[in-house]
Amino acid sequence: MKTVIIGSGCVGLSLAMALIKKLKIDPKEILVIDRYNIPSKGTSIRNSGVLHAGLYYEAGTLKADLCRSGSESLKKWCLNNSLPLLQCGKLLVPFTKTDYSRLDKIYINAKNNGCTVEFVNYQKANEIQPGIIKAEKYLWSPKTAVFSPSSIIESFYLYLKDSGVQFIKSNIKDIDNDKKFIQLEDSKIHYERFLNCAGSGALGIANKVTSKFKDLDILPILGEYGIQKKGLEIKTNIYPVPNPELPFLGIHLTPRIDGKTLIGPNAVPAIKKDIQKLEIGDLLKTPINLLKHAELFISNNQNYREHALSEICISAKRKFLDRSKRYLNAKFHQEFDLDMTSITYGIRPQLINKSNSNFVNDFLYKKIDGNIHVVNAVSPAFTSCLALSEYLTSLI
């Protein structure tokens, strides 16, 4: 077997397609391995489905470079394969004077990243989303869209399967880089190269063959979501203006392909063992996770304490309702309601640098001994997956 891809999520599958299309590798010489499911039902599926435009990402980062082109490529894939796509745009809604100042900076950053954005007044915003709260101005991103993660993953898988790519569901016991074989649960696979795209498990696999990631660790963050059950119809993505000093965007509203509105996520420490049903239980070593969160809280690195305190609440549902209603005119508040459901929960395997306790917020990969390890494929990895896969194949 010439090329082995570890991980059957959005990055692994799109990388397999790029090997076939760009490098003209024989599909029969490609093997995809996943420890849980073929195709993956892990973090790629537990995704809000927002096709990001790339407004916030710092210029010069891989996320900024690949998000916009990846978004266009994924949009074309959906249209060419008759997959669900809701081209509904996104409104950023300011609430404070500080928000307006931040909105101006986001506008400049978005323009520098080549994004299509414009400021709109209340009349225009209310046309886009009837019932929106009144503000002096909003930032409108018309190219933000919504897709179906499961439909895209399934379409990638079927394309590869029909092309002749082989798939194996198995845990990886060991990797011998000198003899070039991967030891599975009941077999041994020889390879010319392997591409580690195992998502939350990528760091652990990389550590089997190299010490170059010894300063990195994973801090799992639980994202809870709600589903709107009644109230005003949400027609576009509605986001707060993010605080650049905090690590996450905040609760927002996303119209889904199925017609229901997804609300969330928050971002709380994942220290409960019962989260293992999300199929990344290998991340959840409770005492270690609790210690990491405590260290960040005490040091207040990256304003983690402020973020953590903002996430603490007696009732998650009440918090989600309050954060949702603030986007809407008061006359729509009473009828608005939601349900919290663990079906939509997900975990963000946040990579952290142990030497300085800083979050790693850009895509991170290394080519080692001819093999590629993608150890950090955070949002917008799904949006960027087709562009990211072409970028990575250029290294082979």
Contact 93, 138 (CB under 8 A): yes
The structural domains of the chain, with segments of one domain joined by +, span 1-83+144-215+359-396
| Topology (CATH level 3) of domain 1-83+144-215+359-396 | FAD/NAD(P)-binding domain (3.50.50)
For 9, list phi and psi in degrees, rounded to 5. -90, -165
pLDDT above 70 coverage of the chain, percent:
87
Flag whether pLDDT at 281 surpasses 50: no
Cα separation, 343 vs 294, whole angstroms: 28
Per-residue model confidence as pLDDT tens digits over 186-243 = 899 999 999 999 998 999 999 999 999 999 988 878 788 999 999 999 999 999 999 8
What is the band of 48 on the pLDDT scale with cuts at 50, 70, 90? Answer: confident
- Note the pLDDT of residue 42: 84
CA-closest candidate to residue 217, choices 275, 305, 283, 269 = 283
**Per-residue b/e over 114-141, b at no fewer than 16 CB within 10 Å?**
ebebeebeeeebbebbebbbebebbbbb
Flag whether pLDDT at 282 surpasses 60: no
Least confident of 24-33, 76-85, 245-254: 245-254
* Token pair recorded at residue 204: 């652990």
Per-residue model confidence as pLDDT tens digits over 115-157 = 999 999 999 999 999 999 999 999 999 999 999 999 999 999 9
- Note the pLDDT of residue 287: 41
